[in-house]
């Protein structure tokens, strides 16, 4: 009998050894260093050059935007679940999107899909005003709590992104983090002439590509961009 | 009753997994049942004497334990520490441990049930034949009963309800000598079954499933929740729910609310407001292409999944619209509507049919001006979750059938979401090109195919006659107005392919060009993903992973990201590894306690391993292959489980009349090999053609077709055991264990092979497994 259950125990241990990689834990005191490492290795080394973006990412404490359970992974090169089927984007995606907008200090930016509030915080370090709309009430509330002390230039709204945020339009840039099968007609209308809108599309945990929408002369054109270092599939 | 419960529970588990995860995992459920059985066989071999000595007392207790185990099977899918979420498997390492725990929990009732059966068969040795027959016919009936229950009860109610079968069997066998003690023994399992049936725990689908996301929206309300063997159907309304896939930026109107239709928690379709209140949003999408190439009177909408394609055809003036929807409940909703969302039965032009679209294509004699296929892929890519799903509507044979159903100048249309790396659009175009090449002559496809592209969607249209200059002028005019780019036209110019919507480079366009040339096969071979058109033999349109390119992809995309491109295939591999490990740990390792007897051991290994592997591979490929014929995997699973087990039982019973001489065993194993090869050839060739009658008739026909092979498949195992008893009786437990272990591996392996190499290869491997078993018998004979 004992041997039988011994076998089970051996099986369990084998499974653990095989499948259970030891999580890389980051101690609280190391957050600052982890953040600097993150910006250097995951972002700057991959080609993001926009200095204001890099500075913002060095400053915003990403670990404050994830759950207790996800703290050890806060500065890793990956997206993390934040509940309600949503994620906090991979740091590189946040940086790449921010750089694409080329935000300036006088910018007014609309974000559709606040999520954890991290992207809004990064933008708030660079631009004049950020308006962020989240449809899931609890997420909106949590983000508002996180942002209110350190980012007074962020207005977090619990509402339906379909309507954008008419009150503060027009915007220099719009980020749609919760990409949908269509662009709500209100959003291009609320974009300034010459403004840019950016939409990440793809699996939240895997590869994402960005679609950049530009408004020139009232005409909208799109450009598909890759935020990850894919080599295009070239054939001979 | 015990066997009924055990088999019916497998159907219930598939239904539950479909709802909380994203796939029915038939292979895993069958393997887990066999894991429980295999472990019980080993346990029985180890403690045979003790178990037999207490059989009268233990038998009812084991049955009650089985019933309790079945009733508690919803635990890994309900809120709590044991809940697992396969979506997070590559994000949270703890999910692996939860998955292993869930596997053990799922196989526990099968362990108790298997032990009870082994005990009953051994203790009632004088009536072994009858008991064995009762066991297998009960298993057969369980498949049908399980299927029947899925039409009446919600998935969370099924396990406790099914648990009542073994509990009732236990009640019948309880000695009731000591009423107090017996009552105490009964209260827990019976009470649990009843409580969990009337107050079932909530099944908690993954937070990443559509139902969870939609229910997070404000004021989301479930309007309909209806159980069905084809999947739990839900209709959800919320103020923020809107649908307008691929809508042009030029559309300036409002987008009305819609109700989402979900199957097993996945977004399936939509119910729109009445046509008069619903703008023809599809006229502002790339789907307008089909209506630019023809002014259709007769429109066939295959699996429309909602009202938008119907509204589009109505607004475009179609005189007759046939909408073929495979799901019974969705069809009813489309006909009648629900709570303010329109039904279409009242439109005289619209005829709604509930049947499998592929079956409809095969059996209809009518021809249409426009045939619309359902949209392919998912917005934002589906990360390879559907790699394991058979999609018979997207095979080359299916497209050729659709071509035959077009009027002489008819048009076939299909839309696809753009993904990256580009896979779906290339595979779809390759299928269309091969269809034209086969039907209209080689190298003519460029004249017949047009395509429009928006920022996220491509619509391909295939015209039976060549696309004319008038057509191309019309398409260019609309493209400019709606802000779309023409992707394919007979006279397409590179400059116009990316006027509004630029890509990161021109590779997509170059690959598309290559598909039209004789270098198409070269592209199939060299592309990093599998873009070869799916066929009825390998109907896995969404399977893109090529194992030979894994190392390169890992380097390109990084190892951490790789699983998110083809999650279905990676989860298949992980579950296979877990099942192999569990089978070794729970079935094989404990047998070493009995000692390993070298004499004849290799032949025992080959013979009983071969039987376990071959039988289970055949069972799974029958389920996969008959899905086309029966229209749904759960129907196929229930029919195959029922028929195969029942007729194998009859075969086992009959085998008692056959002497276990090597020559006889050889002959039967040889017959099995021959039978498998014949079935492989016949089923694949006729699988897509034999559409007739209603579903009951088709189930009956399928069961009848399985009967002969099922009958002979039931013989080699008992004959082998009897032979072994004469030659090496000490190896009997090993024979059971080895057979159990390979039976656990078989289902997952069959799925891997089917996805990568097609059904025919599974038949070949199953026949090879039986052939090896046959050879091992010959060796015994020669030695003697």
pLDDT tens digit sequence for B536-550 = 888 889 888 887 777
Nearest to A202 among B381, B510, B590 (CB): B381
Which residues are CB-contacts of B465 (< 8 A; sequence separation ≥ 6)?
B408, B409, B448
Kindly tell me if the per-residue pLDDT of B521 is higher than 60. Answer: yes
Q: Determine the distance from the C-alpha atom of residue B609 to the mean position of all C-alpha atoms in its chain, rounded to a whole number.
A: 26
Q: Considering just the CA atoms, what is the radius of gyration of chain A in Å? A: 20
pLDDT: is A109 or B624 the higher one? A109
Banded pLDDT at A146 (limits 50, 70, 90): very high
Task: Tell me which residue in A19, A201, A222 faces B502 most closely, judged by beta carbons.
Answer: A222
pLDDT of residue B515: 94
Residue A31, min C-alpha distance to chain B (Å): 21
CB contact under 8 A, B455 and A205: no
Q: Does B590 contact A183 at a Cβ distance shorter than 8 Å?
A: no
In angstroms, the CA B618 to CA B759 distance is 10
B747 three-state secondary structure:
helix
Q: Across the interface, do A162 and B100 touch by the CB < 8 Å criterion?
A: no
Contact: A181, B456; criterion CB under 8 Å: yes
Report the percentage of chain B scoring pLDDT > 90. 30
- A25 among known catalytic residues: no
Cis peptide leading into residue B658 (ω within 30°): no
CB-CB: which of B240, B565, B585 is closest to A135? B240
The reply to whether residue B590 touches residue A3, judged by beta carbons under 8 angstroms, is yes
Tell me which of A206, A218, A226 to substitute to probe the interface with B (most B C-beta atoms closer than 10 Å): A206
CB nearest to B561's CB, from A19, A206, A224: A206
Cis peptide preceding A173, ω within 30 of 0: no
Find chain A residues with C-beta within 8 A of B381's C-beta.
202-203, 206
Q: What is the pLDDT of residues B330-387, one digit of tens each?
A: 999 999 888 878 788 888 999 999 888 988 888 888 999 999 999 987 765 555 666 6
In chain B, the residue whose alpha carbon lies closest to the alpha carbon of A17 is B97
Determine the distance in angstroms separating the CA of B211 from the nearest CA of chain A, rounded to an integer. Answer: 10
Q: State pLDDT tens for residues B146-191.
A: 888 988 999 999 999 999 999 998 888 887 677 777 777 788 888 8
B contacts of A222 (beta carbons < 8 Å): 455, 500-502
Residue recorded with tokens 């648990």: B163
Confidence at A9, pLDDT banded by 50, 70, 90: very low
Which of B208, B454, B575 best probes binding to A when mutated, by most A CB atoms within 10 angstroms? B208
CA dist A182 and A29 (Å) reads 44
Indicate if the pLDDT at residue B309 is higher than 70: yes
CB-nearest to A235 from B247, B514, B563 is: B514
Q: Does A14 touch chain B (CB under 8 A)?
A: yes
What is the rounded distance in angstroms from the CA atom of residue B82 to the CA atom of residue B73?
11
Mean pLDDT of chain B: 85
Asked if B207 and A4 come within 8 Å (Cβ–Cβ), the reply is no
pLDDT score, position A214: 92
Of the candidates A189, A128, A173, the residue with the CA atom closest to the CA atom of residue B254: A189
Q: Return d(Cα B236, Cα B526) in angstroms, integer.
A: 44
Q: Which two tokens stand for residue B191?
A: 């009470």
Q: Are B494 and B408 in contact (CB under 8 A)?
A: no
Residue range B72-94, pLDDT digits in tens? 988 888 888 888 887 777 777 78
Q: Which residues of chain A have a CB within 8 Å of the CB of B585?
A: 7-8, 10-11, 14
- Asked whether the predicted pLDDT for residue A118 surpasses 50, the reply is yes
Instruction: Measure CA of the first residue to CA of the last residue in chain B; give whole Å.
Output: 43
Q: Of B431, A81, A191, nearest to A73 (Cα)?
A: A81
Closest to A77 in 3D by CA, of A151, A8, A24: A24
Q: pLDDT value at position B50?
A: 87
Give the residue on A whose Cα is nearest the Cα of B502: A223
- Taking only the tens place, the pLDDT of each residue in B624-647 is 888 888 877 778 888 888 898 889
Give the residue from A5, A203, A65, A57 showing the smallest Cα distance to B560.
Answer: A203
- pLDDT score of B279: 67
pLDDT value at position B614? 93
Per-residue pLDDT at B697 = 81
Q: What is the pLDDT of residues B416-440, one digit of tens each?
A: 988 878 889 999 999 999 999 887 7
Q: Which residues of A touch B560 (CB under 8 A)?
A: 77-78
Distance CA B399, CA A84 (A): 39
pLDDT at B142: 86
Q: How far is B315 from B307, CA to CA, in rounded Å?
A: 12
Q: How far apart are CA B628 and CA B397, in angstroms?
A: 12
Q: Could A21 and B93 be called an inter-chain contact, meaning their C-beta atoms sit closer than 8 Å?
A: yes
DSSP 8-state symbol, B78: S
Q: Which residues of B touch A235 (CB under 8 A)?
A: 507, 510-511, 514, 523, 526-527
CB atoms B585 and A7 under 8 Å: yes
- Asked if pLDDT for residue B126 goes beyond 70, the answer is no
- Among the listed ranges A116-125, B341-350, B567-576, B772-781, which one has the minimum average pLDDT value? B772-781
**Listed residue (B223, B266, B258) closest to B342, CA to CA:** B258
Q: What is the mean pLDDT of residues B231-241?
A: 89
Choosing among A220, A222, A230, which should be mutated to test the B contact, i.e. which has the most B CBs within 10 A? A222
Task: Spell out a b/e string for B71-88, using b for 16 or more CB atoms within 10 Å of the CB, else e.
Answer: bbbbbbbbeeeebbbbbb
Q: CA nearest A83 in B: which residue? A: B207
- What is the C-alpha R_g of chain B? 28
Please report residues of A whose CB lies closer than 8 A to that of B207.
Answer: 81, 83-85
**Cβ atoms of B702 and B626 closer than 8 Å:** yes
Task: State whether residue A48 is helix, strand or coil.
Answer: coil
Residue B30 has what pLDDT?
81
Structure tokens at A101: 């907008």
State residue A232's pLDDT score. Answer: 45
Mean pLDDT confidence for A232-236:
40
> Mutate which of A187, A205, A219 to test chain B, going by most B C-beta atoms within 10 A?
A205
A230/B556 CB distance under 8 A: yes
Q: B224 phi and psi, to 5 degrees?
A: -140, 140
Range with the lowest mean pLDDT among A36-45, B508-517, B596-605? Answer: B596-605
Sign of the alpha-carbon dihedral angle for B93, B96, B97, B99: positive
In chain A, alpha helices (H) = 2-19, 31-37, 51-59, 91-101, 118-124, 137-148, 186-189
B583 Cβ contact partners less than 8 Å away, ≥ 6 residues apart: B35, B38, B740, B741, B744, B745
| Average pLDDT estimate for A115-141 | 95
Cβ pair A15:B96 closer than 8 A:
yes
> What pLDDT shows up at residue A233?
42
Q: Which token pair is B335?
A: 């006909």
| pLDDT interval class at A17 (50, 70, 90) | very low
Query: From CA A36, how far away is CA B576, in angstroms rounded?
Result: 41
pLDDT at A73 over 90: no
Burial of B524 (0-12, 13-18, 19+ CB in 10 A): middle
DSSP code, position B385: T
Q: Could you read off the pLDDT of A21-53 as tens digits, one per residue?
A: 333 444 555 888 999 999 999 999 988 999 999
Which of A89, A116, A203, A214 is catalytic? The answer is A89
Contacts with A84 from chain B: Cβ below 8 Å: 207, 212-213, 216
Question: Which chain A residues touch B47 with a CB distance below 8 Å?
Answer: 1
- Contacts B580 to A, Cβ<8 Å: none
End-to-end CA distance of chain A: 63
Residue A194 DSSP class: E
- Beta carbons of B244 and A182 less than 8 Å apart: yes
Which of B91, B507, B582 lies nearest to residue A232, judging by beta carbons?
B507
Phi, psi (deg, nearest 5) at residue B338: -160, 135
Q: Which of A164, A199, A207 to mutate to test the interface with B (most CBs of B within 10 A)?
A: A207
Q: What's the rounded Cα separation, in Å, for the pair A42 and A48?
A: 9
Instruction: Give the minimum alpha-carbon distance from A187 to chain B in angstroms, rounded to a whole number.
Output: 10
If you measure CA to CA, which chain A residue comes closest to B281? A182
Given a contact cutoff of 8 angstroms between Cβ atoms, the answer to whether B486 and B288 are in contact is: no
Tell me the CA distances in angstroms from B659 to B199, B513, B662, B771, B775, one per residue in order: 53, 65, 9, 20, 19
Q: What's the average model confidence in pLDDT over A130-155?
A: 93
Among B217, B507, B527, select the one facing A135 at the smallest CB separation: B217
**Would the CB atoms of A206 and B383 count as touching at under 8 Å?**
yes
- Other Cβ atoms less than 10 A from the Cβ of B476: the count is 16
Phi, psi of A46 (to 5 degrees): -95, 5
Q: Does A194 touch chain B (CB under 8 A)?
A: no
Q: Which residue has the higher pLDDT, A123 or A85?
A: A123
Average pLDDT on A211-216 reads 90
Query: What pLDDT does A14 receive?
Result: 43
B526 CB neighbours in chain A (<8 A) are: 235-236
| Chain B closest-CA separation from residue A192 CA (Å) | 15
| Locus of tokens 């009202």 | B307
For residue A23, the chain B residues in CB contact (below 8 A) are 93
Contact A207 B420 (CB under 8 A): yes
| Farthest-apart Cα atoms in chain B, separation | 91
Contact B617, B782 (CB under 8 A): no
Residue A84 to residue A113: CA distance in whole angstroms: 12
Average pLDDT over all residues of chain A: 82
pLDDT tens-digit readout, B322-344? 999 988 889 999 998 888 787 88
* Count of CB atoms situated within 10 Å of the CB of A28: 8
Query: Does residue A130 have a pLDDT over 90?
Result: yes
| Region of residue B153 (left: phi > 0; alpha: psi -120 to 50; beta: else) | beta
- DSSP-derived pairing of the beta strands B266-271 and B350-354: unpaired
Burial of B126 per CB tally in 10 Å (0-12, 13-18, 19+): exposed
- Of the partner residues B218, B420, B586, the one whose CB lies closest to the CB of residue A135: B218
Residues 143-162 of A with CB under 8 A from B: 160, 162
**Beta-carbon-side half-sphere exposure of residue A222 (alpha carbons within 13 Å):** 23
Mean pLDDT, residues A206-221 taken together: 83
**Which range among B440-449, B589-598, B766-775 shows the weakest confidence by mean pLDDT?**
B589-598
Nearest-CA neighbor of B506 among A213, A234, A220? Answer: A234
pLDDT at B352: 94
Q: Counting one residue from A and one from B, how many pairs have CB atoms under 8 Å apart?
A: 179
Region of residue A218 (phi > 0: left; psi between -120 and 50: alpha; otherwise: beta): left
């Amino acid at each position: 009998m004992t041997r039988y259950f011994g076998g089970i125990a051996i099986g369990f241990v084998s499974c653990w050894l095989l499948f259970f990689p030891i999580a890389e834990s980051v101690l609280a005191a190391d957050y600052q260093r982890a953040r600097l490492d993150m910006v250097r290795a995951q972002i700057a080394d991959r080609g993001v050059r926009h200095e204001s973006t890099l500075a913002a990412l060095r400053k915003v404490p990403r670990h404050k935007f994830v759950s207790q359970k996800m703290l050890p992974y806060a500065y890793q090169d990956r997206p993390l679940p934040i509940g309600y089927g949503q994620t906090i984007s991979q740091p590189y995606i946040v940086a790449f999107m921010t750089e694409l907008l080329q935000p300036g200090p006088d910018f007014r930016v609309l974000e559709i899909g606040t999520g954890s509030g991290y992207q809004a915080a990064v933008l708030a370090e660079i631009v004049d005003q950020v308006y962020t709309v989240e449809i899931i009430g609890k997420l909106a509330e949590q983000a508002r709590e996180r942002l209110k002390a350190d980012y007074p230039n962020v207005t977090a709204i619990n509402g339906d992104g379909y309507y954008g945020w008419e009150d503060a339009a027009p915007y220099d840039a719009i980020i749609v983090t919760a990409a949908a099968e269509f662009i709500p007609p209100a959003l291009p209308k609320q974009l300034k002439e010459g403004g840019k809108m950016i939409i990440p599309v793809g699996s939240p945990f895997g590869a994402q590509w960005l679609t950049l929408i530009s408004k020139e002369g009232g005409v909208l054109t799109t450009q598909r961009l890759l935020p990850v270092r894919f080599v295009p599939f070239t054939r001979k | 009753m015990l066997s009924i419960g055990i088999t019916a529970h497998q159907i219930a588990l598939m239904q539950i997994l479909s709802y909380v995860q994203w796939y029915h995992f038939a292979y895993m459920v069958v393997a887990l049942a066999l894991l429980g059985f295999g472990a019980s066989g080993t346990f029985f071999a180890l403690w045979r004497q003790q178990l037999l000595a207490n059989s009268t007392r233990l038998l009812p207790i084991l049955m009650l334990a089985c019933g309790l185990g079945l009733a508690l099977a919803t635990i890994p899918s309900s809120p709590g520490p044991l809940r697992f979420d396969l979506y997070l498997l590559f994000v949270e390492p703890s999910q692996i441990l939860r998955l292993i725990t869930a596997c053990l929990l799922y196989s526990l009732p099968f362990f108790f049930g298997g032990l009870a059966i082994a005990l009953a068969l051994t203790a009632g040795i004088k009536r072994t034949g009858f008991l064995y027959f009762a066991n297998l016919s009960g298993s057969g009936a369980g498949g049908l009963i399980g299927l029947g229950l899925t039409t009446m009860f919600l998935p969370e109610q099924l396990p406790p309800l099914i648990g009542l079968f073994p509990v009732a069997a236990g009640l019948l066998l309880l000695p009731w000598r000591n009423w107090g003690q017996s009552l105490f023994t009964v209260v827990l399992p019976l009470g649990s079954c009843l409580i969990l049936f009337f107050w079932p725990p909530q099944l908690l689908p993954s937070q990443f499933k559509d139902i969870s996301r939609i229910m997070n929206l404000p004021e989301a309300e479930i309007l309909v929740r209806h159980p069905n063997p084809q999947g739990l159907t839900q209709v959800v309304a919320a103020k923020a729910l809107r649908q307008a896939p691929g809508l042009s930026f030029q559309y300036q109107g409002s987008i009305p609310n819609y109700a989402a239709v979900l199957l097993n928690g996945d977004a399936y379709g939509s119910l729109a407001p009445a046509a008069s209140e619903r703008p023809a949003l599809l006229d502002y999408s790339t789907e307008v292409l089909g209506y630019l190439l023809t002014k259709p009177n007769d429109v066939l909408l295959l699996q429309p999944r909602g009202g938008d394609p119907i509204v589009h055809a109505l607004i475009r003036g179609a005189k007759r619209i046939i909408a073929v929807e495979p799901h019974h409940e969705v069809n009813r909703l489309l006909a009648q509507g629900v709570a303010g969302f329109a039904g279409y039965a009242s439109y005289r032009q619209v005829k709604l049919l509930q049947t499998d679209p592929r079956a409809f294509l095969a059996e209809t004699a009518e021809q249409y001006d426009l045939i619309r296929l359902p949209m392919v892929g998912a917005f934002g890519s589906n990360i390879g979750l559907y790699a394991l799903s058979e999609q018979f509507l997207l095979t080359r044979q299916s497209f050729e059938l659709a071509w035959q159903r077009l009027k002489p100048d008819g048009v076939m249309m299909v839309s696809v979401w753009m993904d990256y790396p580009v896979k779906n659009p290339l595979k779809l175009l390759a299928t269309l090109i091969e269809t034209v090449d086969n039907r209209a002559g080689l190298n003519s496809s460029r004249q017949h195919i047009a395509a429009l592209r928006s920022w996220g969607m491509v619509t391909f249209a295939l015209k039976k006659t060549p696309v004319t200059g008038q057509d191309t002028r019309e398409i260019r005019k609309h493209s400019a107005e709606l802000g779309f780019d023409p992707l394919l036209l007979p006279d397409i110019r590179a400059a116009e392919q990316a006027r509004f919507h630029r890509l990161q480079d021109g590779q997509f366009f170059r690959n598309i060009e290559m598909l039209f040339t004789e270098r198409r096969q070269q592209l199939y071979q060299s592309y990093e993903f599998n873009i070869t058109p799916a066929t009825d033999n390998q109907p896995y349109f969404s399977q893109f992973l090529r194992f030979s390119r894994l190392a390169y992809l890992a380097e390109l995309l990084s190892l951490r990201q790789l699983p998110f491109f083809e999650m279905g295939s990676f989860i298949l591999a992980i579950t296979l590894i877990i099942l192999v490990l569990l089978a070794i740990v729970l079935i094989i390792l404990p047998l070493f306690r009995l000692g390993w007897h070298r004499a004849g051991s290799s032949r025992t290994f080959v013979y009983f391993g071969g039987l376990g592997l071959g039988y289970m591979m055949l069972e799974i490929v029958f389920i996969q292959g008959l899905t086309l014929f029966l229209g749904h995997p759960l129907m196929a699973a229930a029919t195959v489980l029922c028929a195969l087990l029942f007729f194998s039982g009859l075969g086992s019973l009959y085998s008692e009349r056959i002497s276990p001489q090597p020559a006889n065993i050889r002959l039967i194993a040889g017959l099995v090999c021959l039978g498998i090869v014949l079935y492989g050839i016949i089923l694949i060739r006729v699988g897509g053609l034999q559409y007739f009658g209603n579903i009951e008739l088709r189930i009956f026909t399928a069961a009848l077709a399985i009967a002969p092979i099922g009958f002979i498949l039931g013989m080699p195992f008992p004959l082998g055991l009897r032979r072994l008893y004469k030659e090496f009786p000490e190896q009997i437990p090993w024979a059971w264990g080895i057979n159990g272990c390979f039976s656990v591996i078989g289902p997952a392996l069959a799925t891997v092979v089917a996805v990568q190499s097609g059904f025919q290869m599974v038949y070949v491997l199953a026949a090879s497994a039986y052939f090896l078993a046959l050879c091992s018998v010959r060796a015994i004979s020669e030695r003697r």
